Chains A and B, each alone.
Chain A
Amino acid sequence: MINNKKVLVIGWDAADWNVINPLMDAGQMPALQKLVENGVVGNIATLYPPLSPMLWTSIATGKHADKHGILGFTEPDANNGGIRPVYGSSRKTRAIWNILHNQGLKSNVVGWWPSHPSEPINGVMVSNFFKMVGKANNRERPLTPGSVYPAELEEILHEFQVHPLEFTSAMIKPFVPDVEKLDPKEHHVPIEGIAKILAEASTVQAVSTWLMRNTEWDFMAVYFDAIDHFCHGFMKYHPPRLPQVSEEYFNIYNNVVSGAYILHDMMLERLLELAGEDTTVIILSDHGFYSNQFRSVALPKFNSAPAIEHSPYGVVCISGPGIKKDERVYGASLLDITPTILSIYGLPIGKDMDGKVLQSIFEEPVVNASINSWDQVEGDFGTIPEDAKEDPFAAAEALRQLVDLGYIEDPGEDKNKAMENCANDNSFNLALVYMFKGNYSAALPLLEEVYQSVPDSPLYSMALTETYLALKKFDETEKLLNKISQDEESGSPKLDILWGMLLGYKGEYSESLKHLNSALEKGGSFPGIYLELGRLHQKMERYDEAVEAFNRALDLDGENAQAYLGKGTCLLKKGRFEEAVDNLLSSAGLLYHFAPTHFFLGEALFKMKLYKESSEAFEVCLIMAPRQRMAHQWLVKIYSEYYLNKEKAEIHTKYLDNNMSGTITIVSGLPRSGTSLMMQMLHSGGAEVLTDEIRQADDSNPRGYWEYEPVKALARDSAWMHKADGKALKVIAQLLKFLPPEFYYKIIFMKRDIKEVLISQQKMLNKPTDIFPVALSKSFEKEIERVEAWAESQPNVDILFVNYPELIEDPKMQIIRVKDFLTQDLDSEKMMKVIDPELYRNRI
């Protein structure tokens, strides 16, 4: 039911707690401090790529960019040729204000990026083009047509358009105290830049306060880009001084960023005063901004390069009636804002929205209804009529600003080239969205296309390499990496990382390690290298080294969700379950929308016997990754045996029945532990086996090896596994962990005294048997322990240990065990006949 609540959303592009907290501590942001004390605060995870028009549209729709269709700063301009700044009318889905319009609620929206041309909503919309007044000699510029809805407010609001030329040095002084002493020739660019940013912020604030004082509204959204713009221009001068920055410039500009935040706090105070205490206020940013050692002094030259200065966590603070006070919110994402606002109004959430309601912020639990999609609801949603006209002048002005900020290249005169570049960039951005969502198959054709179009773009080629890697297309990866390596003389750290990843996937661990160390030498320390090092050590099951690498990543970036995840999974493997849970929770708290974190959290909680909590974690995992079979398998196990819930167990069983690919019998063990014998027995007993007989019988195995050649490459390629469905397959112990999760496995694991195994192996390799390989023996013992632990943590695996000497000595009993285990009607007599005690040659 719709209620009469009021919600004010204030967008501070690029705001970051790392800058805010010291200012609040110093009492320089009292308005925000008050809001923080009376509400919930936290990090808000950005999305990728972190480009503001895409992000603010995700905030306003609750959807990723593949659904909302805003794919960059610019878009091809079909009417005039060339490109134009991205328009709000290119959005493919309804925004929060459209939904509220449909529900009879009044909204004021000011400056949202992108929101031009203004939409005819119930209320007022002032587009992001309204504030752009250009540079000098243009003080009397007419209002951009279409920037204000309703048009009758154009004249009134035009009065509040503030021009940079209005700004005196007195207004610049809070940012640059010595502005009057500066040489205008040397400093006119940054000073004019400050005036321009201030003018635009003043316009947004003036329009917003006028609307708040003179209109009735239920929802108001105000967007400021000034912090982002100030940071791109002046973060390099923010204290502490970077060694690359001269003392002179540092002294002149070191106050600009702090000044920007203080100004925003002053503006916030006025907005809060006008909103009144009954209004729920949401302040948020779309991403953070590096203010530490990751700050950039000079940016590389490619479109969207400034985005590398954006850090992954923005700020969120929510305060108002029914909202908890002085608490933290964990795991918030930009995608959650629209669902949460709908929840505040008592409106249903669209099932097609990617975000969730931030339930934990409410004092009382809220019950959320849902509908399939607001886009399928008939009726008036206050959207732009198809024939809406654009203003080429305004578009050119906005485009100029993007060029000035370094977000896009100057399109110059060549309109066609600009259009082509823009189309490529937007395809690339869409591919990045798919990659962020883990949908590499969808990213692949887009990346192949843009790479073909611009083969010398390192951005495109690196992303394509990453995608090939993720899809385990190793040949393509290697080919592309070789090509990139040829093009680059010295090779970048990124290239070394990719080589390291490829070799790691291929199991060439020491070579992989060399490349990662080389990346460290070339690129210095950055978290990405340590993440890959950690992952490599993890693959090598060197968990202590992996934890150390993840810790190094965390030393450099204490908010690195992937590092916490890596550390958590290593600790899980080491059986340090409580620590694993702590780290996995830290990861989820930073980056909630990442299914693997919840999966491993579920596993760690299960090990701690916290079955209810474990089931909740797996359920969250399935919300994000509904086809994660292993999460379904875990839930069947938990609901059937530990935290009983027959109904839920049935739901997941049904899913698995419909989606599991089948059951495979695996015969495993260390080499020379009787695996070939077991394969023969199964075959003789009537079971179908998968073998290619490429490896011929020899003296060591006179009755054959019963192997299947592709198994050797199981770590890299398991696409053939369906051929083993319903059959028995021999897989050595070391490769079990690479079995793909879409099958159930019945594993018959052959056990034999390690000494016997080793002597048999030494003989087979024509090595002396009088020198016992102690280290190898320990390694094999450890392998068996690993298999036991692994099997225990695989919900799709049943394992039966068969002792080789017992099989030889009492075959009847062991055959009964095997038949029971496989629930197959095998011919015991025929199985028995295969066993030849004379072949048990290395008995100790």
Chain B
Amino acid sequence: MGKIIGDGTDLYIIENNQKVKLEIPPEGMIGLIAYGDLGIQAWRKAKKKVYDQKMKEQGAES
């Protein structure tokens, strides 16, 4: 597995000198805890994205 880096909101995997954004499942995964601050931030961002999307859909429905 390549090296994982984060920028405070997203996590990326570096493989073959390529920086690829990791898709974080909103329900989380245990590796995010291990990754510490960046993992927690990325997870919360993923959750927020889903939440915002849901709110948006609810707003549109109402």
Residues of A at under 8 Å CB distance from B?
159-160, 162, 166-171, 174, 198, 201-202, 205-210, 213, 263, 266-267, 269-270
Which residues on the A side are within 8 Å of B40 (C-beta)?
Answer: 160, 162, 202, 206
Task: Please tell me if B59 contacts chain A, counting CB pairs below 8 Å.
Answer: no
Contact at B37–A171, with CB atoms within 8 Å? Answer: no
The 10 A-B residue pairs whose C-beta atoms are closest, nearest first, are A209-B36, A266-B34, A170-B27, A210-B37, A168-B27, A206-B37, A202-B33, A267-B34, A205-B36, A206-B40
Contact at A208–B36, with CB atoms within 8 Å? Answer: yes
CA distance A169 to B27 in the complex (A): 8
What does the 1/0 interface line of B12-40 toward A look like (CB < 8 Å)? 00000000000001011111011111111
Give min CB distance, A111 to chain B, whole Å.
Answer: 13
CA distance A352 to B34 in the complex (A): 39
Contact at A171–B28, with CB atoms within 8 Å? Answer: yes
Tell me if A's interface is mostly helix, strand, loop or mixed. Answer: helix
Of the A-B pairs whose beta carbons lie under 8 Å apart in the complex, a sample of 22, sorted by A's number, is A159-B41, A160-B37, A166-B44, A168-B27, A170-B25, A170-B27, A170-B28, A171-B27, A171-B33, A174-B30, A202-B33, A206-B36, A206-B40, A207-B37, A209-B35, A209-B36, A210-B36, A263-B30, A266-B30, A266-B34, A269-B34, A270-B34
Which residues on the A side are within 8 Å of B35 (C-beta)?
Answer: 209, 270
CA distance A159 to B37 in the complex (A): 9
Partner of B31 from A162, A210, A266 at Cβ < 8 Å: A266
Which residues on the B side are within 8 Å of A270 (C-beta)?
Answer: 34-36
A205-B33 contact, Cβ under 8 Å, with A160-B40, A162-B40: yes
Among the interface residues B36, B40, B44, which one has the most CB atoms of the partner chain A within 10 A?
A: B36
CB-based nearest A residue for B34: A266
A263-B28 contact, Cβ under 8 Å, with A162-B40, A206-B40, A209-B38: no
Give min CB distance, A425 to chain B, whole Å.
Answer: 35
Q: A160-B37, A166-B28, A210-B36 are in contact. List 18 more A-B contacts (CB 8 A).
A: A160-B40, A166-B44, A168-B28, A169-B27, A171-B27, A171-B28, A171-B29, A171-B33, A201-B33, A202-B33, A202-B40, A205-B36, A207-B37, A208-B36, A209-B36, A209-B37, A267-B36, A270-B34
Contact at A267–B33, with CB atoms within 8 Å? Answer: yes
Indicate the size class of the contact surface on chain B: 10 to 19
Which residues on the B side are within 8 Å of A263 (C-beta)?
Answer: 30, 33-34
Which residues on the B side are within 8 Å of A169 (C-beta)?
Answer: 27
Which residues on the A side are within 8 Å of B34 (C-beta)?
Answer: 205, 263, 266-267, 269-270
Which residues on the A side are within 8 Å of B44 (C-beta)?
Answer: 166
Which residues on the B side are within 8 Å of A201 (C-beta)?
Answer: 33
CA distance A609 to B18 in the complex (A): 68
Contact at B29–A198, with CB atoms within 8 Å? Answer: no
Which residues on the A side are within 8 Å of B39 (C-beta)?
Answer: 206
Which residues on the B side are within 8 Å of A208 (C-beta)?
Answer: 36
Give min CB distance, A202 to chain B, whole Å.
Answer: 5
Give min CB distance, B50 to chain A, whole Å.
Answer: 12
CB-based nearest A residue for B28: A171
Which residues on the A side are within 8 Å of B27 (C-beta)?
Answer: 168-171
Which residues on the A side are within 8 Å of B33 (C-beta)?
Answer: 162, 171, 198, 201-202, 205, 263, 266-267
Which residues on the B side are within 8 Å of A166 (C-beta)?
Answer: 28, 44
Total A-B contacts with CB atoms under 8 angstroms apart: 55
Give min CB distance, B33 to chain A, whole Å.
Answer: 5
CA distance A74 to B44 in the complex (A): 35
Which residues on the B side are within 8 Å of A266 (C-beta)?
Answer: 30-31, 33-34
Which residues on the B side are within 8 Å of A174 (C-beta)?
Answer: 30
CA distance A672 to B39 in the complex (A): 87
Give min CB distance, A34 to chain B, whole Å.
Answer: 15
Which residues on the A side are within 8 Å of B41 (C-beta)?
Answer: 159
Contact at B31–A170, with CB atoms within 8 Å? Answer: no
Which residues on the B side are within 8 Å of A168 (C-beta)?
Answer: 27-28
CB-based nearest B residue for A205: B36
Give min CB distance, A424 to chain B, whole Å.
Answer: 40
CA distance A335 to B33 in the complex (A): 31
CA distance A208 to B25 in the complex (A): 24
CA distance A209 to B34 in the complex (A): 9
CB-based nearest A residue for B35: A270
CA distance A201 to B39 in the complex (A): 13
CA distance A170 to B36 in the complex (A): 18
Give min CB distance, A199 to chain B, whole Å.
Answer: 9
Which residues on the B side are within 8 Å of A160 (C-beta)?
Answer: 37, 40
CA distance A162 to B30 in the complex (A): 13
Among the interface residues A159, A171, A213, A269, which one has the most CB atoms of the partner chain B within 10 A?
A: A171
Give min CB distance, A410 to chain B, whole Å.
Answer: 31
CA distance A263 to B29 in the complex (A): 11
CA distance A263 to B35 in the complex (A): 11
Which residues on the B side are within 8 Å of A206 (C-beta)?
Answer: 36-37, 39-40
CA distance A267 to B33 in the complex (A): 7
CA distance A805 to B40 in the complex (A): 93
CB-based nearest A residue for B43: A166
Which residues on the A side are within 8 Å of B25 (C-beta)?
Answer: 170
Give min CB distance, B34 to chain A, whole Å.
Answer: 3
CB-based nearest A residue for B31: A266
CA distance A174 to B26 in the complex (A): 16
Give min CB distance, A97 to chain B, whole Å.
Answer: 21
CA distance A206 to B25 in the complex (A): 19
Give min CB distance, A259 to chain B, whole Å.
Answer: 8
Among the interface residues B25, B35, B40, B41, which one has the most CB atoms of the partner chain A within 10 A?
A: B40
Contact at B30–A171, with CB atoms within 8 Å? Answer: yes
CA distance A166 to B25 in the complex (A): 14
CB-based nearest A residue for B25: A170
Which residues on the A side are within 8 Å of B28 (C-beta)?
Answer: 166-168, 170-171
CB-based nearest B residue for A262: B30
Contact at B37–A170, with CB atoms within 8 Å? Answer: no
Which residues on the A side are within 8 Å of B29 (C-beta)?
Answer: 170-171
CB-based nearest A residue for B40: A206
CA distance A205 to B25 in the complex (A): 20
Which residues on the A side are within 8 Å of B31 (C-beta)?
Answer: 266
CA distance A207 to B38 in the complex (A): 10
Which residues on the B side are within 8 Å of A202 (C-beta)?
Answer: 33, 40
Give min CB distance, A225 to chain B, whole Å.
Answer: 15
CA distance A159 to B39 in the complex (A): 12
CA distance A147 to B40 in the complex (A): 20
Which residues on the B side are within 8 Å of A267 (C-beta)?
Answer: 33-34, 36
CA distance A171 to B30 in the complex (A): 6
CB-based nearest B residue for A207: B37
CA distance A266 to B34 in the complex (A): 5
CA distance A213 to B41 in the complex (A): 14
CB-based nearest B residue for A175: B30
Give min CB distance, A94 to chain B, whole Å.
Answer: 30
Give min CB distance, A779 to chain B, whole Å.
Answer: 69
Give min CB distance, A398 to chain B, whole Å.
Answer: 22
CA distance A198 to B29 in the complex (A): 12
CA distance A168 to B25 in the complex (A): 11
Among the interface residues B25, B29, B35, B37, which one has the most CB atoms of the partner chain A within 10 A?
A: B37
CA distance A202 to B38 in the complex (A): 11
Give min CB distance, A653 to chain B, whole Å.
Answer: 60
Give min CB distance, A644 to chain B, whole Å.
Answer: 59
Give min CB distance, A28 to chain B, whole Å.
Answer: 13
CA distance A209 to B39 in the complex (A): 10
CB-based nearest A residue for B44: A166
Contact at A213–B37, with CB atoms within 8 Å? Answer: yes
Give min CB distance, B59 to chain A, whole Å.
Answer: 24
CA distance A168 to B30 in the complex (A): 10
Among the interface residues A169, A207, A266, A269, which one has the most CB atoms of the partner chain B within 10 A?
A: A266
Among the interface residues B28, B33, B35, B41, which one has the most CB atoms of the partner chain A within 10 A?
A: B33
Give min CB distance, B62 to chain A, whole Å.
Answer: 26
CA distance A267 to B32 in the complex (A): 9
Give min CB distance, A42 to chain B, whole Å.
Answer: 26
Among the interface residues A206, A213, A266, which one has the most CB atoms of the partner chain B within 10 A?
A: A206
CA distance A613 to B34 in the complex (A): 47
